[in-house]
Structure 1
Amino acid sequence: MNILAIMSPEGAYYKDEPIRELDLALTNLGFKTIYPRNNADLLKLIENNARICGAIFDWDQHSTELCTEINELNEYLPLYGFINTHSSLDVTVNDMRMVLYFFEYALNAADDIAKRIRQYTDEYIDTITPPLTKALFRYVEEGKYTFCTPGHMAGTAFLKSPVGTLFYDFFGAKTLKADISISVTELGSLLDHTGPHLEAEEYIARTFGAEQSYIVTNGTSTANKIVGMYAAPAGSTVLIDRNCHKSLAHLMMMTNVVPIYLRPNRNAYGILGGIPQREFTRESIEEKVAMTQNATWPVHAVITNSTYDGLLYNTDYIKQTLDVPSIHFDSAWVPYTNFHPIYAGKSGMSGERVAGKVIYETQSTHKLLAAFSQASMIHIKGDYDESTFNEAYMMHTTTSPHYGIVASAETAAAMLRGNPGRRLINRSVERALHFRKEIQRLREETEGWFYDIWQPEEIDEAECWPLNPDQNWHGFANADTDHMYLDPIKVTILTPGMDEQGQLAAEGIPAALVAKFLDERGVVVEKTGPYNLLFLFSIGIDKTKSMSLMRGLTDFKRGYDLNLRVKNMLPDLYAEDPDFYRHMRIQDLAQGIHKLIRKHDLPSLMIRAFDVLPEMVMTPYDMFQHQVRGHIEECEIGDLIGKVAANMILPYPPGVPVVMPGEMITQHSRAVLDFLIMLCSIGERYPGFETDIHGAKLTEDGRYWVKVLKLPAA
Structure 2
Amino acid sequence: MRPELDAYLITDRSVEDIAVMDLGRCRRVFYNQEDFLELHLNILRGVNRRYKTPFFTALKEYSKQPTGVFHAMPISRGKSITRSHWIQDMGAFYGPNIFLAETSATSGGLDSLLEPRGPIKEAQDMAARAFGSKQTFFATNGTSTCNKIVVQSLVRPGDIVLVDRDCHKSHHYGMVLSGANVVYMDSYPLHEYSMYGAVPLREIKKTLLNLKANGKLDKVRMVLLTNCTFDGLVYNVQRVMEECLAIKKDLVFLWDEAWFAFARFTPTYRQRTAMGVANLLRETLRTEEAAAAYAEQQKELENADEEVWLNTRLLPPPDARVRAYATQSTHKTLTSLRQGSMIHVNDQDFKGEVEQAFHEAYMTHTSTSPNYQIIASLDVGRRQVELEGFEFVQRQIESAMAIRKAVASNPLLQKYFRVLTVADMIPAEYRDSGANSYFDARRGWTDIWEIWAKDEFVLDPTRVTLAVGGTGWDGDTFKTKILMDKYGIQINKTSRNTVLFMTNIGTTRSSVAYLIEVLVEIANDLDDLLDDASKMERRSFENRVTALVEHVPPLPDFSRFHDAFRESSITPEGDIRSAYFLSYDEDNCDYLTLGEALLERLRNGEELVSASFIIPYPPGFPILVPGQVISPEIMEFMGALDVSEIHGYRHDLGLRIFTQKALENLISGSGRGN
TM-score by length of 1: 0.70
- Residue 388 (str. 1) matches residue 354 (str. 2): no
Report deviation, 1:543. 1.5
Report deviation, 1:652. 2.2
What is the CA–CA distance in structure 2 between the aligned matches of 1:190 and 1:487, rounded to whole Å? 33
- Residue 628 of structure 2 aligns with an amino acid whose one-letter code is E
Task: Give the match's secondary structure for 1:306.
Answer: coil
Pairs within 5 Å for 1:448-467: 449-456=415-422, 467=431
Task: Give the match's secondary structure for 2:326.
Answer: strand
- Residue 537 of structure 1 aligns with an amino acid whose one-letter code is T
C-alpha offsets along residues 227-255 of structure 1, whole Å, 9 cap, x if unaligned? Answer: 00011011211111112100011112222
C-alpha offsets along residues 276-317 of structure 1, whole Å, 9 cap, x if unaligned? Answer: 111232x5323257789x996311121110011001111111
Aligned partner (choices 649, 652, 672) of residue 696 of structure 1? 649
- Residue 648 of structure 2 aligns with an amino acid whose one-letter code is G
What is the CA–CA distance in structure 1 between the aligned matches of 2:497 and 2:457, rounded to whole Å? 22
Pairs within 5 Å for 1:118-129: 128-129=51-52
Q: Is the 8 A contact 2:236 2:457 kept in 1?
A: yes
- Residue 142 of structure 1 aligns with an amino acid whose one-letter code is Q
Pairs within 5 Å for 1:334-345: 334-345=260-271
Task: Give the match's secondary structure for 1:133.
Answer: helix
Pairs within 5 Å for 1:8-157: 93=35, 97-98=39-40, 128-157=51-80
C-alpha offsets along residues 327-352 of structure 1, whole Å, 9 cap, x if unaligned? Answer: 10011010011100111321110132
Task: Give the match's secondary structure for 1:417.
Answer: helix
Q: Is the 8 A contact 1:246 1:657 kept in 2?
A: yes
Report deviation, 1:509. 5.2
Q: Is the 8 A contact 1:303 1:329 kept in 2?
A: yes
Pairs within 5 Å for 1:294-305: 297-305=219-227
Task: Give the match's secondary structure for 2:363.
Answer: helix
Report deviation, 1:513. 4.2
Partner of 1:635 in structure 2? 592
- Residue 276 of structure 1 aligns with an amino acid whose one-letter code is P
What is the CA–CA distance in structure 2 between the aligned matches of 1:310 and 1:692, rounded to whole Å? 23
What is the CA–CA distance in structure 2 between the aligned matches of 1:140 and 1:223, rounded to whole Å? 29
Task: Give the match's secondary structure for 1:399.
Answer: coil
What is the CA–CA distance in structure 1 between the aligned matches of 2:651 and 2:490, rounded to whole Å? 24
Report deviation, 1:132. 0.7
Contiguous gaps of at least 5 residues in structure 2: 1-31, 283-319, 425-429, 439-452, 566-574, 665-674
Change (3 A) 1:321 1:245: same
Report deviation, 1:528. 1.4
- Residue 493 of structure 1 aligns with an amino acid whose one-letter code is L
Pairs within 5 Å for 1:464-503: 467-468=431-432, 470=434, 482-497=455-470
What is the CA–CA distance in structure 1 between the aligned matches of 2:114 and 2:239, rounded to whole Å? 35
- Whose RCO is larger (CA < 8 A, sep 6+)? 2
Q: Is the 8 A contact 1:348 1:360 kept in 2?
A: yes
What is the CA–CA distance in structure 1 between the aligned matches of 2:529 and 2:402, rounded to whole Å? 30
Partner of 1:280 in structure 2? 204
C-alpha offsets along residues 202-229 of structure 1, whole Å, 9 cap, x if unaligned? Answer: 0110000000000011000000000000
Task: Give the match's secondary structure for 1:429.
Answer: helix
What is the CA–CA distance in structure 2 between the aligned matches of 1:393 and 1:362, rounded to whole Å? 13
Change (3 A) 1:616 1:361: farther
Partner of 1:400 in structure 2? 369
Task: Give the match's secondary structure for 1:663.
Answer: coil
Aligned partner (choices 211, 215, 220) of residue 134 of structure 2? 211
Report deviation, 1:179. 2.1
Aligned partner (choices 671, 675, 678) of residue 633 of structure 2? 671
- Residue 421 of structure 1 aligns with an amino acid whose one-letter code is G
- Residue 334 of structure 2 aligns with an amino acid whose one-letter code is L
Task: Give the match's secondary structure for 2:506.
Answer: coil
Aligned partner (choices 396, 405, 427) of residue 428 of structure 1? 396
Task: Give the match's secondary structure for 2:327.
Answer: strand
Q: Which has the larger radius of gyration?
A: 1
Partner of 2:153 in structure 1? 230
Pairs within 5 Å for 1:402-417: 402-417=371-386
What is the CA–CA distance in structure 2 between the aligned matches of 1:304 and 1:223, rounded to whole Å? 14
- Residue 548 (str. 1) matches residue 514 (str. 2): yes
Aligned partner (choices 514, 517, 522) of residue 478 of structure 2? 514
Partner of 2:25 in structure 1? none
Report deviation, 1:633. 3.6
Task: Give the match's secondary structure for 1:708.
Answer: strand
What is the CA–CA distance in structure 2 between the aligned matches of 1:661 and 1:645, rounded to whole Å? 5
What is the CA–CA distance in structure 1 between the aligned matches of 2:42 and 2:176, rounded to whole Å? 58
Task: Give the match's secondary structure for 1:416.
Answer: helix
- Residue 417 of structure 1 aligns with an amino acid whose one-letter code is E
Task: Give the match's secondary structure for 1:210.
Answer: coil
What is the CA–CA distance in structure 2 between the aligned matches of 1:524 and 1:300, rounded to whole Å? 36
Q: Is the 8 A contact 2:561 2:627 kept in 1?
A: no
What is the CA–CA distance in structure 2 between the aligned matches of 1:616 and 1:592, rounded to whole Å? 44
What is the CA–CA distance in structure 2 between the aligned matches of 1:359 and 1:622, rounded to whole Å? 28
Change (3 A) 1:368 1:210: same
Q: Which sits farther off after the overlay, 242-251 or 171-180?
A: 171-180
Coordinate RMSD, CA, aligned: 3.5
- Residue 705 of structure 1 aligns with an amino acid whose one-letter code is G
Task: Give the match's secondary structure for 1:302.
Answer: strand
What is the CA–CA distance in structure 2 between the aligned matches of 1:359 and 1:470, rounded to whole Å? 30
Higher helix share: 2
C-alpha offsets along residues 181-201 of structure 1, whole Å, 9 cap, x if unaligned? Answer: 144352121101211110011
Q: Is the 8 A contact 1:489 1:537 kept in 2?
A: yes
Report deviation, 1:155. 1.5
C-alpha offsets along residues 348-395 of structure 1, whole Å, 9 cap, x if unaligned? Answer: 101325541310000011111111111110000022132221111110
Report deviation, 1:138. 0.8
What is the CA–CA distance in structure 1 between the aligned matches of 2:526 and 2:539, rounded to whole Å? 10
Aligned partner (choices 494, 497, 511) of residue 528 of structure 1? 494
What is the CA–CA distance in structure 2 between the aligned matches of 1:205 and 1:426, rounded to whole Å? 23
Q: Is the 8 A contact 2:583 2:611 kept in 1?
A: yes
Pairs within 5 Å for 1:610-625: 610=557, 612=559, 615=562, 617-618=564-565, 619-625=575-581
Report deviation, 1:557. 0.8
Report deviation, 1:533. 1.3
Task: Give the match's secondary structure for 2:210.
Answer: helix
Contiguous gaps of at least 5 residues in structure 1: 1-89, 102-119, 459-465, 475-479, 498-506, 567-582, 683-689
TM-score by length of 2: 0.74
What is the CA–CA distance in structure 2 between the aligned matches of 1:291 and 1:661, rounded to whole Å? 25
Pairs within 5 Å for 1:171-186: 171-184=94-107, 186=109
Change (3 A) 1:224 1:436: same
C-alpha offsets along residues 624-647 of structure 1, whole Å, 9 cap, x if unaligned? Answer: 212333333433244485332222
How many percent of aligned residue pairs carry the same amino acid?
A: 27
Report deviation, 1:428. 1.0
Q: Is the 8 A contact 1:349 1:381 kept in 2?
A: yes
Q: Is the 8 A contact 2:331 2:340 kept in 1?
A: yes
Task: Give the match's secondary structure for 2:518.
Answer: helix
What is the CA–CA distance in structure 2 between the aligned matches of 1:320 and 1:412, rounded to whole Å? 32
What is the CA–CA distance in structure 2 between the aligned matches of 1:248 and 1:127, rounded to whole Å? 34
